[in-house]
Amino acid sequence: MASAAAFDLAAASYDSGFGRTAAARVFRHVFQDCLLARFRAGARLVDLGCGTGEDAVFLAASGYSVLGVDSSPRMIEAARAKAGRAGLAPPALRFEVARAEDVAGEFDGAYSNFGALNCCDLPAVGRALARALRPGSPVVLSVMAEASLPKQARRLWKGGSREPRADGIRRVAGLPVPIATPSPSEVRSALGTEFDWQGGFALGVVMPGPEFASWPSRHPQLFGLLAIAERSIRSWPLFRSGGDHNVLVGVRR
């Protein structure tokens, strides 16, 4: 699997690189706050595309029971090591090498962060979640997008005002990875009819996302002001589908 091989290579430097950019830390903080607000105390959760386990470790330390799955064995190794350093072990926290499309078990909620689902077969993910989630279980999914104002501004600056949406190939650790960047409505449709969607919000509407890694250090005050502004507008109907990542919030019917 192309994405698994690429993320195997990226695993060792993921936390110290992408994961530590200013935007990624803001995104993760906001996403984790949403998870705490949606999931009942002590719930059994599944993390789809858990990567190095940052969210799963956070939730397990907060009293949840979490299974993290990822198709990359090296990411799972990193996640298990992180759990060990935090003093967390099964059954409170488990990690398995598995695709999101193949998740199985019984859970009270599911989530996915930082665009792991952009590399997945969404209809298959929807069918797996419908089988694994109890009725009424919350679902919180962060999906990478292309509509943010910073990305559009960069394209305009480069003379690409009418570039097509960047579905296709991206490079991770130097390897090509097939991805798609569906809109929130396309994600909802692809996941199927077993979910009721209750809104959502955007991350990186006006604040430059993680790919603008050096920008916050060059413009720290402006970055802070944009982060404050975004906090006020990320859930507005006009903006909640226009982020660097879009977060969908719903429940299993």
Highest mean pLDDT among 34-43, 140-149, 229-238: 34-43
| 150-205 pLDDT per residue, tens | 777 766 666 654 444 445 788 888 899 989 999 999 999 999 999 999 989 999 99
Position 36 scores a pLDDT of: 98
Cβ-contact 101, 120 below 8 angstroms:
yes
Q: Supply the pLDDT for residue 164.
A: 44
Q: Give the pLDDT confidence of 224-244 residue by residue, as tens digits.
A: 999 999 999 999 998 998 899
Is the pLDDT at 148 greater than 90, yes or no? no
CB 60 within 8 A of CB 85: no
HEC secondary structure over 142-199: EEECCCCHHHHHHHHHCCCCCCCCCCEEEEECCEEEEECCCCHHHHHHHHCCCEEEEE
Lowest pLDDT segment from 30-39, 45-54, 84-93, 235-244: 235-244
Which CATH architecture group holds 2-252?
A: 3-Layer(aba) Sandwich (3.40)
What are the domain boundaries of the chain? 2-252
pLDDT digits (tens, 9 = 90+) for 2-12: 789 999 999 99
Average pLDDT estimate for 196-225: 93
**Percent of the chain with pLDDT strictly greater than 70:** 94
* pLDDT above 50 (res 25): yes
Q: What is the mean pLDDT of residues 25-45?
A: 97
Supply the pLDDT for residue 156.
67
Q: What's the confidence (pLDDT) of residue 180?
A: 93
pLDDT reported for residue 167: 53
Q: How large a percentage of the chain has pLDDT more than 90?
A: 79
Residue 82 above 60 pLDDT?
yes
Q: Rounded mean pLDDT of 100-124?
A: 97
Which of the pair, 14 or 147, is modelled with greater confidence?
14
- Cα 115 to Cα 105: distance, rounded to the nearest angstrom: 23
Residue 208: CB atoms within 10 A of its CB come to: 26
Predicted local distance difference test score (pLDDT) of residue 160: 57
pLDDT of residue 76: 98
133 close to 100: Cβ distance less than 8 angstroms: no
Determine the distance from the C-alpha atom of residue 210 to the mean position of all C-alpha atoms in its chain, rounded to a whole number: 12
